[in-house]
Amino acid sequence: MKNPAVVAGVGMVPFAKPGASAPYYDMGAEAARRALADAGLDYDKVQQAYVGYVYGDSTCGQRALYPVGMTGIPVVNVNNNCSTGSTALFLARQAVASGAADCVIALGFEQMKPGALGSYFDDRPTPFEAFDQVCNELVGHPDTPMAIRYFGGAGMAHMDKYGTRAETFAKIRAKASRHAVNNPVALFRKEVTVEDVMASPVLIGPMTRLMACPPTCGAAAAIVCSEAFARQHGLDARVTIVAQAMTTDTPSTFEARNMMQLVGSDMARAAANQVYEAAGIGPGDVDVVELHDCFATNELLTYEALGLAPEGGGEKMVEDGDNTYGGRVVTNPSGGLLSKGHPLGATGLAQCTELVQQLRGQAEARQVDGARVALQHNLGLGGACVVTMYQAS
């Protein structure tokens, strides 16, 4: 990078069930204020803003930031499905790294409705036409909500290819709940057992309801700046983004006729490889990971896509306890999307918040001992995947 990007401040609001949260603009403004306070910075020092959300009219970003300050800066609204928050972070980091700006805010929020995700624009073709065609051929169940079919189908594909057991996915969900017990901003903080997960209602194939993340409302933000700006203003410059990559689908997504690739495993693998090469740091050097566990099946797929486990080795990683405290790499110490919740536009920046706190040693009961290198993975179908590596100085 021309100018390494410092994450000088992070903030988020506790996630809530649909109907129980404040309006999106109040959540967004509060998250922005918390990030500014964490950085010790006034809003008038921020030069650009990138604001992510999926469900909302255009310029919701301005509506959320105007109560924080009306300084006339560019406010760019971002929508990239479930990777929206990390796409805002990608753009903020890019602005700083290129020298276009010295200090930028990335903000993400979502005010969601109850129930499964669906299309809001039924008067035009969906961007998922090609995805649906492959999914219909491989999985069927056209009346089942889209995300459940996709990620349930991907889990079944892994089971068919590698002999993975349904209980392994349940162990991932139980692990998420154990981590979330110590996260005051997680939606679900009650510990559940493998037996609880397996006994919950079946959604499709091996996937039960507790293996799926809930629709959630929330907001999170990050202040990204140059090292020179941080020094000039006396900001905390301990955590730097040392590499970041964003990928989209390639022909293999559809041509492979494989549900694991349809839900983004190739995108994730390509982004991770770009990040490892740029940083000169491999997966074996990563201490803590926040990855996109929208479904427990996807967490296991992502272990392999990020190189944390070899292909087909995700189940062994779970069985050996290498995905939690005392193991090789702690994954989703926040409780992940499965326990923390998944407000689409906020998720990527909530992951950023958790990892920055980990690298600063501020994660309290969730703290990963000696964490120096952190990896973030945020996936959006349709598609986009952002992988970010952070390092503590």
**Residues classed as catalytic:** 82
Are 300 and 165 within 8 A, CB to CB?
Answer: no
Locate tokens 């929208």: which residue? Answer: 294
Are 294 and 152 within 8 A, CB to CB?
Answer: no
**CA–CA dist 290, 359 (Å, integer):** 12
Are 104 and 71 within 8 A, CB to CB?
Answer: no
Half-sphere exposure for 43 (CA within 13 Å, toward CB): 19
Q: What is the CA angle 373-376-379, rounded to 5?
A: 165
**CA–CA dist 355, 286 (Å, integer):** 12
Of 277, 249, 281, 276, nearest to 265 (Cα)? 249
Strands 384-392 and 373-380: antiparallel
> What letter would DSSP give residue 212?
B
**CA–CA dist 264, 262 (Å, integer):** 6
Half-sphere exposure for 342 (CA within 13 Å, toward CB): 24
Which residues touch 163 (CB under 8 Å, ≥6 apart)? none
Backbone angles phi, psi at 127, to 5 degrees: -70, -5
> What letter would DSSP give residue 283?
G
Are 186 and 15 within 8 A, CB to CB?
Answer: yes
